Amino acid sequence: MTALLTVAGLTVAARLTGDDLLLLDDVHLDVGRGQIVGVVGESGSGKTTLARTVVGLLERNVQVTGGAVTLAGEVVVASGIDRTDRVRGRAIGMVFQDASRSLNPLMKIRTQLAEVLRRHVAGISRAEVERRSVEVLGQMRIGDPARVLNSYPHQLSGGLRQRVAIGLAVVTRPSLVIADECTTALDVTTQTKVVSLFRTLVDELGIGLLFVTHDLMLASDICDRIAVMSGGRVVEQGAALQVLEQPQQEYTRRLLAAIPSWS
């Protein structure tokens, strides 16, 4: 499978007083079209730093010091290079842990979808904005799109807000979506629905999905491949079943052993 996203030797450091702190160390990772790649590990393992590097959302004192991120053959991130403003929101959609980070509480959902489309799709007409807005809510399995379009975020349940946030990420028809712990704040039933939704979107639209999570059970349900991170490094990666059923690294075995229901 030809890689859509390639992370090759990515090294990221934070500039601190007196010394630098290494956040990512020689990370290698590929995501193909129509593929879900899970990035798993404990808090502080580097998962979110990896996701934020790919979309150019690092803090000012954090920078890429080695390696590169390539999307569809074009280098978008490397040492001294940041072209993420060309692809963020267009070719790459981002779903955050908390839907409130994606949704403006003062704007109706209709307005927010229209704003994203007009910003990232040149020359789009008002009629096409409306059509795509209704279409994407249907893709999100939202049964009453008219009501949701005319609602403010606080008028929607947590699960609906997260599905709308996913809709905002895919309405521009990106080739890659990054989901950063986007199910953490949801109850188990809603998590299951969101995971099923992601699987359907990937299969039907042929997008690539980088699924960042600390939850190995969720990763086992949705991912084609899994990369296990610890201390800013990928310590193990491979086909999901291979990594989860025949882990090669002690760290992966400890993660699995910490899940009471894992067998």
| Backbone angles phi and psi of 102, in degrees to 5 | -100, -25
Q: How many Cβ atoms from other residues are within 10 Å of residue 144's Cβ?
A: 10
**What's the pLDDT tens digit per position in 95-153?**
988 777 789 999 999 999 999 999 999 999 999 999 999 999 999 999 899 999 999 99
**What's the pLDDT tens digit per position in 73-87?**
999 999 999 999 999
Q: Measuring CA to CA, which residue among 26, 53, 98, 44 is closest to residue 210?
A: 53
**What's the pLDDT tens digit per position in 226-244?**
999 999 999 999 999 999 8
Edge to edge, what strands does the sheet with 19-32 contain? Answer: 19-32, 3-16, 62-71, 74-78, 81-82
The pTM assigned to this predicted structure is: 0.94
Domains of the chain, by residue range, sit at 105-173
d(CA 87, CA 2): 19
